[in-house]
Amino acid sequence: MAAHRCGLSLVFILILSSLACPSSCDALEKANENTGEKQSVSDTPREVNTDGSIAAEDLNERQWQSTDVEADRSDGTKDSESFTAAARDQFQEELVIRPLHSGDIYASFQFRTLWDTDFLQERQKVSHYRLFPKSLGQVLSKFSVRELHISFTQGFWRTMQWGQPFIPSPPGAELWVWFHDTVSDVDGNWKELTNVLSGIFCASLNFIDLTNTVQPSASFKPLGLGNATDHRFLRYATLPREIVCTENLTPWKKLLPCGSKAGLSVLLKSEKLFHSSFHSQAVHIRPVCQDEQCTSKAWELRQTLNVVFDLYTSGQGKKEWSLFKMFSRTLTEACPLATSSKVYVDITDNPEGELFELSPATPLLSQAVVLGDRRTYSVFDLTRAEMFGQLRSLNLLLRWKGDSGDMLRPLLHAERYVAGFGLQTGEIHTVIYNNHPYRAFPVLLMDSVPWYLQLYIHTLTVTSKSRDNKPSYIHYQPAKDRHRPHLLEMLIQLPPHSMTEVTVQFERALLKWTEYTPDPNHGFYVGSSVVSALVPSMVAMNTNFTQDQPLFSSFVPVKEESSYFVRVYTEPLLVNLPTPDFSMPYNVICLTCTVVAVGYGSFYNLLTRTFQVDEPSLPLAKRLANLIRRIRGVPLLA
Footprint on this chain of another protein (rule: CB under 8 A): 421-425, 451, 454-458, 474, 476-482, 486, 507, 509-514, 578-581, 584-585, 588-589, 591-592, 595-596, 598-600, 602-603, 605-607, 609-615, 638
For another protein, the closer of residues 417 and 600 by Cβ is 600
Instruction: Please state the separation of Cα 38 from the chain's center in Å.
Output: 39
For another protein, the closer of residues 171 and 485 by Cβ is 485
CA dist 33 and 544 (Å) reads 30
Distance in Å, CB of 238 to another protein, minimum: 21
CA dist 638 and 622 (Å) reads 9
For another protein, the closer of residues 156 and 516 by Cβ is 516
CA dist 217 and 446 (Å) reads 9
For another protein, the closer of residues 4 and 512 by Cβ is 512
Distance in Å, CB of 332 to another protein, minimum: 58
Assign 379 to helix, strand or coil.
strand
For another protein, the closer of residues 256 and 487 by Cβ is 487
What is the secondary structure of 276-321 as a DSSP string? SSEEEEEEEEEEEESSTT--SEEEEEEEEEEEEE-HHHHTTT--EE
CA dist 428 and 501 (Å) reads 10
Amino acid present at 452: Y
Distance in Å, CB of 485 to another protein, minimum: 11
Q: Are strands 356-359 and 453-464 parallel, antiparallel or unpaired?
A: unpaired
Distance in Å, CB of 189 to another protein, minimum: 24
3-state SS string for 530-594: EEEEEEECCCCCCCCCCCCCCHHHCCCCCCCCCEEEEEEECCCEEECCCCCCCCCHHHHHHHHHH
For another protein, the closer of residues 213 and 362 by Cβ is 213
For another protein, the closer of residues 368 and 487 by Cβ is 487
Alpha-helix residue ranges (DSSP H) falling in 165-287: 186-201, 246-254, 270-273
Cis? peptide before 495, omega within 30° of 0: no
Distance in Å, CB of 453 to another protein, minimum: 11
Distance in Å, CB of 410 to another protein, minimum: 32
Distance in Å, CB of 280 to another protein, minimum: 34
| Pick from 467, 476, 474, 475: nearest CA to 494 | 467
Distance in Å, CB of 35 to another protein, minimum: 59
Distance in Å, CB of 449 to another protein, minimum: 12
Are residues 103 and 319 in contact, defined by beta-carbon separation less than 8 angstroms? yes
Distance in Å, CB of 315 to another protein, minimum: 43
Distance in Å, CB of 510 to another protein, minimum: 5
CA dist 260 and 266 (Å) reads 5
For another protein, the closer of residues 406 and 615 by Cβ is 615
Give me the phi and psi of 238, to 5 degrees please.
Answer: -125, 150
Distances in Å between the Cα of 20 and the Cα atoms of 7, 31, 67, 132, 496 are 20, 19, 25, 20, 64
For another protein, the closer of residues 407 and 509 by Cβ is 509
Distance in Å, CB of 560 to another protein, minimum: 31
For another protein, the closer of residues 68 and 507 by Cβ is 507
Are residues 310 and 276 in contact, defined by beta-carbon separation less than 8 angstroms? yes
What dihedral do alpha carbons 183, 184, 186, 190 form, nearest 10°?
-70
CA dist 156 and 277 (Å) reads 8
For another protein, the closer of residues 478 and 496 by Cβ is 478
CA dist 364 and 375 (Å) reads 14
Instruction: Please tell me the number of Cα atoms within 13 Å of 54 on its side-chain side.
Output: 10
Instruction: Please state the separation of Cα 434 from the chain's center in Å.
Output: 25
For another protein, the closer of residues 506 and 564 by Cβ is 506
CA dist 365 and 90 (Å) reads 24
